[in-house]
Amino acid sequence: MIPQETVNRVLDTVKVEEVIGDFVTLKRQGANYLACCPFHNEKTPSFTVSPARGFYYCFGCKKGGTAVSFLMDHERMTFSDAIRFLGKKYGIEIKEEEETAETIAARQKSESLYIVSEFAQNFFAGQLESGEGRALGYAYFKSRGLEDETIRKFGLGWCPTDRYALLNAARAAGHKEEYLVESGLCIKTDEGKVYDRFHERVTFPLHSVSGRVLGFSSRTLRSDKSVAKYVNSPQTDIYDKSKFLYGIWFAKQQIAKEDSCILVEGNLDMISMHQLGLTNVVASCGTSLTVDQIRLIKRFTNNVTIIYDGDAAGIHAALRGIGLVLKEGLNVKVVLLPDGMDPDDFTKTHTLEQVRQFIADNAKDFIGFKADLLLDEAGNDPLRKAELINDVADTIALIPDAVKRAVYTESCAQKFGIAQEILSNRVYRTHEGVLEEDKRRWERERADQERRNAQDSQAAEQTETRTVQLDGATGKKTVVKPSILEPVEKDLLKFIFTSGLDYMEFTKDNKYYTDPPMTVAEFIDASLQDDDALFEEGPRRRAYDAYFEYYDEGFSQDEILRRMTSGEDQEIVNLVVELTASRYELTEKNLRNSMTKPMTILVQQVPRAILLYHVKRLDKQLEEYKAQLRNPEVDAMMIMTEIAHLNEMRRKLNKTLGRN
Ligand SMILES: [Zn+2]
């Protein structure tokens, strides 16, 4: 447990733009920062970070919160972990209160996986210090030209030949076998035998964007073919290879700084290049690129240079994956190394300056590269040439930017010696097809989302229905829309969060006039209490209660909001950020249209918002009564009377509001 005062100290120190800036490239715009949202896919940035308020907010997907919420949402950290992470980043000592057995037991599974992975990392790295690890693992890394500092920086290690070395060490340190197996560090056979997955191998820890060890890749030093050369961590709760790029933790800052990312295939290639001084390099670890990996790069830059070994087999394999990269709108360049060389060899035989120069001289845009390569292979065969022209046109069609497509079309037509119209026709048609396909996919995704939402609200309805059922004693399921009050409750919260401490200055002839005047928060609260009205059970109710708890302690508005957003309840944080992101953008059209008279906005709109809220509450009650009427056992007369009564109240309220 981290004491509240430590949490507050951390939150007072962090700069939201610095924390988010580690994961997303932020562009300054006035007092704020802007970026493409890391939570949803978009082409125009709608993700804003406000240093002054300490919040981020996406106008597209409506995600928002503090630096802590960001780490929780984006990096899947727990609240305490986010605080620890920030403490480390800002050099604030986190004094933890003694943890009870229960809280240790209650920690999430993924947390246990991180911890056991961290333990394994220290264990493997430590093995290089002496004995077998020194003689084999360390000697191997040295033979590959790695310096001690590099070995340490990338946390390289050795898993001993003894198949139980890690297992025993971890057990002795109190780690559970369950997590050793879950994390993939150990393998459990069907007979229940447990042993180290990476035994007798050099190990490379796999770091997340935020620098935590997620898993390992490993390589055997044996030459016999019966042993797999590379063995990697399996998919776990914390490691997903399709979302992972080796070295991103070490390279991300330089990638953002240079606005360019170099992509190589192997771990050692990447490490050698970093050792040489090229530090914007990441490795794809052999697999062809996935959309998630591309999006990871896109958080930091739009420019990728892919370096390939100089052999033809590698190139052809690579050609296949690149369509995705182009489709995501990245600018792709390709560098072919001299025949028979991989980046590791190349960096060892050249200076930093030479490598930089070689890349600069030999980087070709991908389309031109592909065209040249295929043209070369097709030779004089007209059929194959026609095939290749279509193939290249289809590749160009993947590029989202129309100007770039036109430029490539022109240069390729020249290259092939054909009329530009022929090529551009094909590009155009295929591009439309791609768009069509995207649209269909997008619609599918949206339908999925809607179905999920429906399921969620159904679940919410069912919880809510239970209260109705108790009252009506029906036993049948009555469906009550749970969200009917959401917009109006949000409007009230919005007034409270943005102007809660402002005074309601009614004129003396106004029926709401009081002396002394009430604050907006008091006015709303008093009005709700008059009707014994409570917000619906859930985040809005909790946010309302939290606000008034701090309000009653006499804090300033800023301090109240700061306290509300520094707690663990992320639904409250989200509400505060969402409702304060833009000042008076209310949901009810009437409210927006009523700002004609020269009265202050608050004096006119707060009472209206309250009346609207009461109307919606009546609507909700009416629905509940109507639902009860379907039950033959209830006293229909009584309910009809109630309904008539509610309708009358509703009519009066609407009249006051000037609506029918
Ligand atoms: Zn978003």
What sign for the dihedral angle of Cα 224, 227, 233, 234? positive
Q: What is the pLDDT of residues 288-325, one digit of tens each?
A: 677 788 878 887 788 999 888 766 666 765 676 677 77
| Sheet of strand 27-29, all strands in order from the earlier edge strand to the far edge | 27-29, 32-35, 47-50, 55-58, 64-65
And the tokens for 178?
């369950």
H/E stretch holding 111 reads helix 109-127
Is 622 in contact with 644 (CB distance < 8 Å)?
A: no
CB 263 within 8 A of CB 283: yes
Ligand 1 centroid distance, CA of 61 (Å): 4
For the ranges 4-8, 343-347, 598-602, which has the lowest average pLDDT?
Answer: 598-602
Q: How many CA atoms lie within 13 A of 229 on its CB side?
A: 4
489: CA distance to ligand 1 center in Å? 24
- Is the per-residue pLDDT at 557 higher than 80? yes
What pairs with residue 206 in β-bridges? 215
How far apart are alpha carbons 293 and 418 in whole angstroms?
A: 36
For residues 16-37, give the mean pLDDT: 89
- The SS3 of residue 281 is strand
Task: Tell me the average pLDDT across 492-520.
Answer: 87
pLDDT at 475 over 50: no
Q: How many CA atoms lie within 13 A of 554 on its CB side?
A: 0
For ligand 1, the distance from its centroid to the CA atom of residue 34, given in whole angstroms, is 12
The CA 60 to ligand 1 mean position distance, Å, reads 5
Give the mean pLDDT of 452-479: 44
What mean pLDDT is predicted for residues 229-245?
A: 89
State residue 117's pLDDT score: 96
Give the per-residue pLDDT at 321.
66
Q: How many angstroms separate the CA atoms of 148 and 132, rounded? A: 17
* Separation of CA 405 and ligand 1 centre (Å): 28
Q: Give the Å distance between the CA of 449 and the centre of ligand 1.
A: 15
CA dihedral 558, 564, 566, 571 (to 10 degrees): -140
Ligand 1 centroid to Cα of residue 329, in Å, is 18
Q: What's the pTM? A: 0.56
Task: Say whether pLDDT at 481 is over 70.
Answer: no
Task: Look at 56-65, 207-216, 395-404 and tell me which has the smallest mean pLDDT.
Answer: 395-404
Show the CA angle centred on residue 254, arms to residues 248 and 255, nearest 5°: 65
CA distance 125 to 118: 11
Q: Could you tell me the distance, in angstroms and rounded to a whole number, from the CA of residue 448 to the centre of ligand 1?
A: 18
Instruction: Match 């791609």 to its residue by tokens.
Output: 434
Supply the DSSP string of 481-531, one letter for each residue.
-TTTTHHHHHHHHHHHHHHTTSB----TTSTT--SSPPBHHHHHHHHHHHT
Measured in Å, residue 30 CA sits from the centre of ligand 1 at: 20
Pair of tokens at residue 279: 């530090």
β-pairing, 261-264 with 281-283? Answer: parallel
- Select the more confidently predicted residue: 147 or 448: 147
Between the alpha carbon of residue 141 and those of residues 128, 197, 213, 284, 623, the distances in Å are 10, 20, 20, 20, 73
Per-residue pLDDT tens over the stretch 345-378: 888 889 999 999 999 998 888 888 888 877 887 7
CA of 33 to the centre of ligand 1 (A): 14
Between the CA of 304 and the centroid of ligand 1 the distance, in Å, is 24
| Segment 130-189, tens digit of pLDDT | 899 999 999 999 999 999 999 999 999 999 999 999 999 999 999 999 999 999 999 999
**How much distance in Å is there from the Cα of 73 to the middle of ligand 1?**
12
**How much distance in Å is there from the Cα of 564 to the middle of ligand 1?**
22
CA separation for the pair 308, 316 (Å, rounded): 10
pLDDT > 50? residue 464: no
CA 161, CA 198: separation in Å to the nearest integer?
9
Both tokens of 467, joined, read: 């209260």
- Alpha carbon of 45 to ligand 1 centroid (Å): 9
Please tell me the distance between residue 12's alpha carbon and the centre of ligand 1 in angstroms.
26
Contacts of 485 (CB under 8 A, 6+ apart): 535, 536, 613, 616, 617, 620
Residue 152: other Cβ atoms inside 10 A:
12
Distance from the alpha carbon of residue 48 to the mean position of ligand 1, in angstroms? 9
Overall average pLDDT of the 74-97 stretch: 85
Residue type, 314: G
- In this predicted structure, the answer to whether residue 646 has a pLDDT above a threshold of 80 is yes
Q: SS3 letters for 296-307? A: HHHCCCCEEEEE
Q: Is 567 left (phi over 0), alpha (psi -120 to 50) or beta?
A: beta
| Predicted pLDDT at 443 | 65
Distance CA 143, CA 128 (A): 14
Tell me, in angstroms, the distance from the centre of ligand 1 to residue 592's CA.
Answer: 26
Question: Measured in angstroms, how far is the CA atom of residue 491 from the centroid of ligand 1?
Answer: 22
Higher pLDDT, 330 or 19: 19
What are the chain's domains?
4-102 (3.90.580.10), 108-239 (3.90.980.10), 250-362 (3.40.1360.10), 370-472 (no CATH), 486-657 (no CATH)
Q: How far is the CA of 17 from the centre of ligand 1 (A)?
A: 16
Choice between 101 and 465, residue whose per-residue pLDDT is larger: 101
Quick one: tokens of 295? 């999006």
Centre of ligand 1 from the C-alpha of residue 558, in Å:
25
Pairing of strands 281-283, 230-232: unpaired
Average pLDDT for 533-544: 90
How many whole angstroms from 581 Cα to the centroid of ligand 1? 14
At residue 462, the pLDDT reads: 44
Percent of the residues in the chain that have a pLDDT greater than 90, as a whole number: 29
Residue ranges with strand state E in 66-190? 157-159, 186-188
> 72 pLDDT exceeds 50?
yes
Q: Residue 277 in contact with residue 351, Cβ under 8 Å?
A: no
Asked if 494 and 579 touch (Cβ cutoff 8 Å), the reply is yes
Q: Residues of 94-124 as b/e, b for ≥16 C-beta within 10 angstroms?
A: beeeeeeeeeeeeeeebbbbbebbebbbbbb
pLDDT at residue number 309: 77
Q: How far apart are CA 246 and CA 103, in angstroms?
A: 33
What confidence tier does 467 reach under pLDDT thresholds 50, 70, 90?
very low
Confidence band of 274 (pLDDT split at 50, 70, 90): very high
Residue 337 has pLDDT above 90, yes or no: no
| Of residues 355, 257, 245, the one with CA closest to residue 307 | 355
Least confident of 86-95, 193-202, 316-325, 602-611: 316-325
Q: What is the Å distance from ligand 1's center to 259 Cα?
A: 22
